[in-house]
């Protein structure tokens, strides 16, 4: 019984993270833009402390905001890749099969996420975002695999 509950429990972080992604995707264009603008302004403030030249208007705000939005896609799915690879391992699926299944899982969720956005006011589904999300998921899975390899083969 304990083993089954451990296997099921391994999926809880995955489901919670998917709920976060769904919540963020359900935001209207105005809400989403407002959130990314806050993050962009925070980043500009931090960058200005390190490189004061940025405060003189050398950075195109719209471009930086675009980068922040795309980076958010990548990082959200990087975490999903990590969590799904972990859940699969806890369920006895390891190696290449784990890697492939985790990436497919992330890619399929990215597709449903973009389809969902098509029904949100002011939002649209983008194939380029599916690709970016999938690359984030792949990066997370590779990161997870490399950490597991490091644990098995400490230098």
pLDDT in tens, 1-16: 568 889 999 999 999 9
The residue with tokens 């990314």 is: 36
More confident residue, 30 or 128: 128
pLDDT of residue 129: 96
Mean pLDDT over each residue of the chain, to the nearest integer: 90
CA distances (Å), origin 151, targets 43, 61, 148, 154, 155: 34, 42, 5, 6, 9
| Distance between CA atoms of residues 122 and 49, nearest Å | 35
| Distance between CA atoms of residues 36 and 100, nearest Å | 31
Output the pTM of the full model: 0.87
pLDDT of residue 1: 55
């Amino acid at each position: 019984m304990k083993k089954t509950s451990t296997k099921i429990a391994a999926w809880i972080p995955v489901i919670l993270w998917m709920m976060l992604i769904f919540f963020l995707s359900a935001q209207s264009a105005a809400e989403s833009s407002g959130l990314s603008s806050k993050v962009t302004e925070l980043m500009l403030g931090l960058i200005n402390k390190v490189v004061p030249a940025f405060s003189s208007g050398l950075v195109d705000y719209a471009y930086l905001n675009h980068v922040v939005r795309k980076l958010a896609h990548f990082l959200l799915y990087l975490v999903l890749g990590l969590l799904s690879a972990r859940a699969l391992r806890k369920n006895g699926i390891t190696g290449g099969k784990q890697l492939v299944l985790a990436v497919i899982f992330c890619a399929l969720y990215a597709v449903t996420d973009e389809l969902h956005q098509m029904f949100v006011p002011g939002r649209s589904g983008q194939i380029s975002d599916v690709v970016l999300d999938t690359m984030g998921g792949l990066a997370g899975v590779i990161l997870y695999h490399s950490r597991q390899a490091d644990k098995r083969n400490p230098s």
